[in-house]
Amino acid sequence: MDKKIDVLDRGYVRLISTMGNDLTVVNSARVSYDKASDEINEKDKRLIKFLAKNLHTSPFRHSMLQFEVYAPLLVARQHWKYIVGSDFRDPLTGAWNESSRRYITEEPEFYVIGGDKWRKVPESSKQGSGECLPLEVGAKWTEELAKHYRQCLETYEQAMKDGVCVEQARVFLPAYALYVRYYWTASLQAVTHFINQRLAHDAQKEIQEYARATLSLTQKEFPYSIKELVS
């Protein structure tokens, strides 16, 4: 089964591992009565529906998912909010580890917005975006963007050739467009919280694509829980 989904021009979401399944949710809820199921049945599906509908969320925190994500910083910094915090008492706490350009000098990759992907300022809001700009306008800015990346990359490489340390030379790279690789580990509840919020119509389009990929991968592992938790 393919556990990697390509996103944007060169990004992806890969499901690395899981702990638990729909049965874990059911048995976590039933432990109060010292009961357990060996396989999911119709009664168990109804229980999952009841738990989700009535916001009995603790059973959904006994299952964990670990993802590897490759995304431009403009997505990663929004996604980072969903680790919630580092306090172990917080039920939505997750873990996050990210590649660092203090240590690596691999070829930088940048998010290149296609000519048909540039969006207008929205008419009814001061933030977000609206419909796509005409192709001829978008193509112009894609060309300008590529030119900007080339210039920044040349400056970055020249700085290192002159002896500037990597952790300072990186300031010449266009930060928000730079792709970063990270591991995200979170409970099933936290993952669905991210999916629900970032699939909303007013979420940034780029992170919506990452949310859809996360949904698709999670759905294969927790089909009954996802059906009830994702609105």
Catalytic residues, which ones?
198
Cβ atoms < 10 Å from Cβ of 156? 21
User: Residue 98 — φ and ψ, nearest 5°?
Assistant: -130, 145
Integer Cα distance of 58 and 73 in angstroms: 32
Helix (H, G, I), strand (E, B) or coil at 113: coil
Partners of 68 in the β-ladder: 14, 183
- Return the beta strands (E) in 32-98 as ranges: 64-72, 95-98
Residue 28 near residue 59 (C-beta atoms within 8 A): yes
Which contiguous run of DSSP H or E holds residue 119? Answer: none
